[in-house]
Amino acid sequence: MADPMKIRATMKGDLADVRVLMVHPMETGQRKDASGNVVPLHFIQQLSVRVNGRLMIEGQISQAVARNPVFSFRLKGVKAGDSLEIAWLDNRGERSQSVASIA
Amino acid sequence: MMAMNPLRRISLRLAGALAAGLLLPLRAFAAWNKEAFQSRTAADALKGLGVAASSDSKDIVIEAPQIAENGQVVPVEVTSQLPNTKSIAVVIEKNPFPLAAKFEFGDGALPYIKVNVKMGESSFVRVVAEAGGRFYTASKEVKVTIGGCGG
Amino acid sequence: MKKAFKLYIAATLAACSSAPVSERPVVSEAELFEVQAVLKRDFHARGSAALSRLEPDAVQQACNLHGDGPPEALAKALEAQQFAAIGFPAGSLIGDWKRGQRIAQSGRGLQWSDGPKDVAGGSCYNCHQLSPQEVSHGTLGPSLLGFGKLRGNSPEMQKYTYGRIYNSKAYNLCSQMPRLGHSGTLTEQQIKDLVAYLLDAESPVNK
Amino acid sequence: MNRFAVLVVVLALGVSRADAQDTKKEIEKYQKMIADSSPVELFELQGETLWKKRQGPSNVSLKRCDLGLGAGELKGAYALLPRHFKDADRVMDLETRLLHCMVTLQGRSREEATKRVFGNADTPSEIEYLSAYIAGESRGTPMAPGSAHPKEAAAYELGRKLFFYRAGPWDFSCASCHGEEGKRIRMQDLPILSTPAAARPVVATWPAYRVSNSEFKTMQWRINDCYRQMRMPEPNYASDLTVAITTYLSVTGRGEPYRGPGTKR
């Protein structure tokens, strides 16, 4: 896919509403694909949210999170123009990181 | 445009990479809590999170549908009004692996999370929050039905 | 009992009249042939769904030509013809309600996506409420909650229920209910199991 | 095949008979919550990439494809479909027109371009991605499908007849399910697509992402899958029949500002 992560961060009063869309199949290892063989376990395990490099949120998740996960967070003490970075790591060691500036 | 000289092409690619966050320092993560996430019951999952006891609290607000047309995507929104909440864990009691997610909030982050989870069947969605060194809990029932023409 | 039974039938017929639709075009026979030609041109066979399925029979022709409201005489004649083709099995028409419940829940049968090994179902819950436990039921057809408790399971009621499932058009020519027996979707035994699900006192439908 | 049945277990016993009305309200709340957090944007992004990607023997992108407002013009183009195109002298919906551009501009064979038009959660199809992107470019534009040209009027009329035409072993027409107020299949409400009030919100939100199977679905798929459940043979992809039905629905639902691509159950 073109863009494995899509971040939208906008100031609402003095809070920042953060919404991130991650492209990931989040396979439970229970599903069979079209030709009938089991699709192995494959899911994001950890994610982190940083503003200007400072860690704000750290998450650990499982295959019980839906496919193409969408997370919403709320941050305070941040302002428009700050650099928001989100990173994830999955159970196969694959990673993704993306940066957006807060609108 | 005649062939771009190699130096210019490299610098362009560097700029592009920076923008895409590829050149950020590789982020390290604490170890994934295997014990808690691979527990087959809610009780074991909580033990794995180090939760010895927890008291019910109305200060944990769970926004989730009462009826979900299917278990593939169930939106769950959690807000903790407990002062200095450090973490929120989401446990789906009847799932094969009940612990779905756990978030830790540093200062600057509100104790709030919205996430879509999968539910194998109708079940209670339990939230455990850690605040002031103690654990609090709340839960909400979500019924999962067959939607559509089921054909 | 005879009179009550007839009254009941009349009431049901009224309830199951064809669905009122808006802005339905009045079509001539020639226009129907045009539509049929477009179907033959723009469809292709797939899996068990052969092109022959597009051939209209007398019932479809009558309902399409008259916007689901054919003249009385034509309707009665075709209903009688459909009724005669039902071929009621001898003896009790009540099968196993537990199997009947699975048939009522299953949406399989005659779709190109159904494999040769897939057992056909009746898709009943798509359109009807049957047992009180099933929240996810349709409302295209009337609720059948307590069907047997209300009507008992006399031989006439068994025959009516069996016939209605086998070929609903034998009772109401342009009913929206599929002809589950006539179309070859369900076997005789499967229809008996559905009759049990509707009439057997032990069935959750009647609890 | 029925992924629902495999994964989803209905709570058989002990469910109090939820009153149908508040069940419906709860389902609507669920649908609103999933729409808020939908990944449909990802499909629009990938569609944009594919719109610009050079493909086919001619090795050109689709950027010169004329969707009715001129080569490459996307803003508001989807909202004016289906419409008659002079170059092909045919009424075309979005997918039919994209196929036309793939064949005429990119030099691809129709057979290759239609090899896999309906994707799945693992690998959506090219035309599903493209539909998401192009539809998204019409957000806010009132739907105004073609109806003045004689062939547009004929397509509408044919679509209307097809909507009510009963056929196949189960004697169904579209109106069998989409013909009566307040009806539903299982928990799925059935809009009366032959009336503007019910057709408008539907026409304004297709094509759409379906959360239940994480798949992006187009109108051609919608018509295809309805005929499958009507126990009919399979309709030819992008045939005049399918375009006629979409024309009938779009004209019936015209005037509504487009607000898709949507997110559905």
Residue of B nearest to A16 (CA): B109
pLDDT at D261 over 70: yes
Task: Select the residue of C21, C50, C184 nearest D233 (Cβ to Cβ).
Answer: C50
Q: What is the spatial distance between Cα C180 and Cα C178, in angstroms, rounded to a whole number?
A: 6
Partners of B75 in the beta sheet? Answer: B116
Q: How far is CA D83 from CA B9, D139, D244, in A?
A: 45, 18, 10
Q: Which of A5, A41, A43, A60 is the mutation pick for testing B, counting most B CBs within 10 A?
A: A60
pLDDT at A94 over 90: yes
Q: Would an 8 Å CB–CB cutoff place C136 in contact with chain B?
A: yes
pLDDT at B30 over 90: no
pLDDT of residue A41: 95
The full set of domains in chain B, from first to last, is 32-144 (2.60.40.2470)
C108–chain B nearest CA distance, Å: 6
Between chains, do B149 and C126 touch, taking CB under 8 Å as contact?
A: yes
Q: What percent of chain B has pLDDT over 90?
A: 68
The boundaries of the domain holding residue A76 are 5-101
Q: What ipTM, to 2 d.p.?
A: 0.76
Task: Select the residue of B22, B103, B116 nearest A57 (Cβ to Cβ).
Answer: B103
Between chains, do C126 and B150 touch, taking CB under 8 Å as contact?
A: yes
Q: Would an 8 Å CB–CB cutoff place C139 in contact with chain B?
A: no
C153–chain B nearest CA distance, Å: 30
The full set of domains in chain C, from first to last, is 29-84 (no CATH), 88-206 (1.10.760.10)
pLDDT of residue D6: 45
Task: Select the residue of A25, A34, A68 nearest D42 (Cβ to Cβ).
Answer: A68
Among the listed residues A102, A100, A95, A99, the one whose alpha carbon sits nearest the alpha carbon of residue A24 = A95
Residues of chain D neighbouring C110 (CB-CB closer than 8 A): 169-170, 231
- Count of CB atoms situated within 10 Å of the CB of B141: 12
pLDDT of residue B85: 97
Residue of C nearest to D165 (CA): C64
pLDDT of residue B23: 62
Amino acid at A71: F
Q: What is the spatial distance between Cα C113 and Cα C36, in angstroms, rounded to a whole number?
A: 24
pLDDT of residue D26: 84
**pLDDT tier at D44, thresholds 50, 70, 90:** very high
pLDDT at B14 over 80: no
Instruction: Give me the residues of A, 49-88, that contact D with CB < 8 A.
Output: 66-68, 70, 72
**pLDDT tier at B27, thresholds 50, 70, 90:** confident
Residues 6 or more apart in contact with residue D238 via CB below 8 angstroms: D92, D93, D95, D96, D99, D114, D220
H helices, E strands: number in chain B: 3, 9
Q: Which of C135, C177, C180, C203 is the mutation pick for testing D, counting most D CBs within 10 A?
A: C135
Q: What percent of chain A has pLDDT over 70?
A: 97
Q: Which of D30, D172, D177, D264 is the mutation pick for testing B, counting most B CBs within 10 A?
A: D30
Residue A56 contacts residue B106 (beta carbons within 8 Å) = yes
* CATH number of A53's domain: 2.60.40.10
pLDDT, tens digit, for every residue of D121-178? 878 999 999 999 999 999 999 999 999 999 999 999 999 999 999 999 999 999 999 9
Residues of chain C neighbouring B151 (CB-CB closer than 8 A): 107-108, 111, 123, 126
Residues in chain A: 103
Which residues in chain C land under pLDDT 50?
Answer: 1, 11-22
pLDDT, tens digit, for every residue of B56-107? 999 999 999 998 887 888 999 999 999 999 999 999 999 999 999 999 999 8
Residue of B nearest to C114 (CA): B151
Task: Select the residue of B143, B147, B151 nearest C123 (Cβ to Cβ).
Answer: B151
Number of domains in chain A: 1
Average of per-residue pLDDT values in chain A = 92
C105–chain B nearest CA distance, Å: 9
Amino acid at B109: A
Q: Would an 8 Å CB–CB cutoff place D35 in contact with chain A?
A: no
Residues of chain B neighbouring C135 (CB-CB closer than 8 A): 67, 143, 145
Q: CA A3, D134, D73: angle at the middle one, nearest 5? A: 115
Between chains, do D46 and A2 touch, taking CB under 8 Å as contact?
A: yes
pLDDT of residue D214: 81
B84–chain C nearest CA distance, Å: 42
Q: Which residue has the higher pLDDT, D199 or C25?
A: D199
Residue C107 contacts residue B151 (beta carbons within 8 Å) = yes
pLDDT of residue C40: 98
Q: Would an 8 Å CB–CB cutoff place A42 in contact with chain D?
A: no
Between chains, do B109 and A87 touch, taking CB under 8 Å as contact?
A: no
Q: What is the spatial distance between Cα D16 and Cα C135, in angstroms, rounded to a whole number?
A: 9
Q: Pinpoint the alpha helices (H) of chain B.
A: 6-19, 34-37, 42-48
The full set of domains in chain D, from first to last, is 33-264 (1.10.760.10)
C136–chain B nearest CA distance, Å: 6
pTM over 0.90: no
Task: Select the residue of A55, A87, A99 nearest B106 (Cβ to Cβ).
Answer: A55
Task: Select the residue of A46, A95, A99 nearest B32 (Cβ to Cβ).
Answer: A46
User: Are chains A and B in contact at 3+ CB pairs closer than 8 Å?
Assistant: yes
Residue of D nearest to C54 (CA): D168
Instruction: Chain C: list its partners (3+ Cβ pairs within 8 Å).
Output: B, D
Task: Select the residue of D8, D33, D229 nearest B70 (Cβ to Cβ).
Answer: D8
Q: What are phi and psi of C8, to 5 degrees?
A: -60, -45
Residues of chain B neighbouring D229 (CB-CB closer than 8 A): 149, 151
**pLDDT tier at D39, thresholds 50, 70, 90:** confident
What string of DSSP letters covers chain A?
Answer: ---SEEEEEEEETTEEEEEEEE----B-S--B-TTSPBPPPB-EEEEEEEETTEEEEEEEE-TTBPSS-EEEEEEES--TT-EEEEEEEETTS-EEEEEEE--
Q: What is the spatial distance between Cα D212 and Cα D129, in angstroms, rounded to a whole number?
A: 18
The number of C-beta contacts closer than 8 angstroms across A and B is: 120
Average pLDDT value for residue range A17-45: 91
Average pLDDT value for residue range D4-24: 53
Q: Would an 8 Å CB–CB cutoff place C112 in contact with chain D?
A: yes
Among the listed residues C179, C158, C206, C147, the one whose alpha carbon sits nearest the alpha carbon of residue C79 = C179
Which residues of D are catalytic, by number? 226
Between chains, do B110 and A72 touch, taking CB under 8 Å as contact?
A: no
Q: Which of B9-13, B133-137, D68-72, D90-94 has the lowest mean pLDDT?
A: B9-13
pLDDT of residue B19: 53
B148–chain C nearest CA distance, Å: 8
Assign B61 to helix, strand or coil. Answer: strand
DSSP D13: S
Amino acid at D118: F
pLDDT of residue D11: 47
Residue B97 contacts residue B112 (beta carbons within 8 Å) = no
Residues of chain B neighbouring A18 (CB-CB closer than 8 A): none
pLDDT at D21 over 90: no
B139–chain A nearest CA distance, Å: 17
pLDDT of residue C3: 58
Between chains, do D10 and C42 touch, taking CB under 8 Å as contact?
A: no
